[in-house]
Amino acid sequence: MCLSLRHTALAAAFLLHIIASPANAQQQTVRLFVGLPAGGSVDVLARLLADKLQASLGKSVIVENRPGASARIAVQAVKSSPPDGSALLVTPGAIVHLYPHVFKNLGYDPFKDLTPISKLVTWDFGFAVPANSSIKTVRDFIDAAKANPKAAFYGSPSSGSPQHLLGVQMASVLGVPLQHVWFKGAADAVNALLSDAVPSAVLALGDLSQQHKAGTLRVLATFSKERSILMPDVPTMTELGYPELQATGGVAFYGPGGMSRELSESLSRAAQAALDDPIVKDRIQKMDIIPVSSTSRELQEYDLRELDRWHDSAKASGFFAD
């Protein structure tokens, strides 16, 4: 047996031992909570993971959508569950990195009420303009925005989103007083760009890649550390002289606070095995997002860095939600 297969088998056996132990014998179903509606990329990802976990655990794993309150209803459901592996959470990282900065009454402590398990996917952000715009480069945009206030607007999927706050940081770094225009989701923001209703936008590359390839939108730069595999022709902000403008988004896997290290690490290994599955990997990549796993400790360290990383942008945005 090869090392990877032995690794997966050991993780599966340990998970089965813990979750199927006498103390948990009455719990025949594991619920995987998602704070967003069915059908979206996070929901699809959760269902792919649930299918593989079901095989690992030898019991039913169902996805339970609890949309609302910016995904915080699902967080509350997991927070109030026992830390025995019967309730788990698949969620965008914003609930850990951003929400503590922008919600006055968050309702949970992401580092006490949740146990990190693993990263699942990541994505890059891009800065785009309509294809018929005279703006061809970031330098062009800076000059246009300084010369004409009407050019100094950018769209994002929502107020308080990573894209919104990246725009705030971009305005500071580029020295341009940008005005934010929020939309009800990425699809509306993309449509606004296509119709010239907004002169620019900060969006996830997955929301821009097809239009960029088709030539209906132009991505001027990405906020990634290195050029994206989705858009190798597009420079990074770092390449253009703005290394401060680096950020990624993603989805991660959590359990309730107080989960044992043995269980969280075993679930982490099971998640890694799921993401290594060729069919799962192919499905994820077709959504223009990148599968990436981690240990529990690596996710916790990443979360702490990202929480700190978003502090200044959130404060500068002036945005607060009740």
CA distance linking residue 259 with residue 128, whole number of Å = 42
DSSP state of 278: H
Nearest alpha-carbon partner for 120 in 322, 309, 298, 307: 298
**Tokens 């959470």, located at residue:** 89
Q: What's the token pair of residue 137?
A: 């480069």
Phi first, then psi, for residue 225 (nearest 5°) are -70, -40
Q: What is the pLDDT along the chain (322 residues), one digit of tens a residue?
A: 444 444 544 455 445 554 444 444 345 789 999 998 888 888 999 999 999 999 887 889 999 999 888 889 999 999 999 999 999 999 999 999 999 998 888 999 999 999 999 999 999 999 999 999 999 999 999 999 999 989 999 998 887 788 888 998 899 899 999 999 988 778 888 999 999 999 999 998 888 988 999 999 999 999 999 999 889 999 999 999 999 899 889 999 999 999 999 999 999 999 999 999 999 999 998 888 899 999 999 999 999 999 998 888 788 777 787 6
Cα 40 to the center of its chain, rounded Å: 12
Whether the full predicted model's pTM is greater than 0.95, yes or no, is no
Q: Confirm whether 3-123+249-317 and 124-222 share one CATH topology.
A: yes
Cα 244 to the center of its chain, rounded Å: 20
* Topology given in CATH for the domain delimited by 124-222: D-Maltodextrin-Binding Protein; domain 2 (3.40.190)
The DSSP result for 179-222, as a single string, is EEEE-SSHHHHHHHHHTTSSS-EEEEHHHHHHHHHHTSEEEEEE
Residue 4: what pLDDT? 47
Using CA atoms of 105, 107, 108, 109 in order, give the dihedral in degrees to the nearest 10: 20
Residue 271: what pLDDT? 94
Domain ranges of the chain: 3-123+249-317, 124-222
CA distance linking residue 58 with residue 36, whole number of Å = 26
Can you identify the CATH homologous superfamily of domain 3-123+249-317? Answer: Bordetella uptake gene, domain 1 (3.40.190.150)
CA distance linking residue 271 with residue 116, whole number of Å = 12
CA distance linking residue 253 with residue 48, whole number of Å = 13
Residue 116: what pLDDT? 97
CA distance linking residue 235 with residue 27, whole number of Å = 50
- Angle of helix 205-214 relative to helix 186-194, nearest 10 degrees? 30
Residue 322: what pLDDT? 67
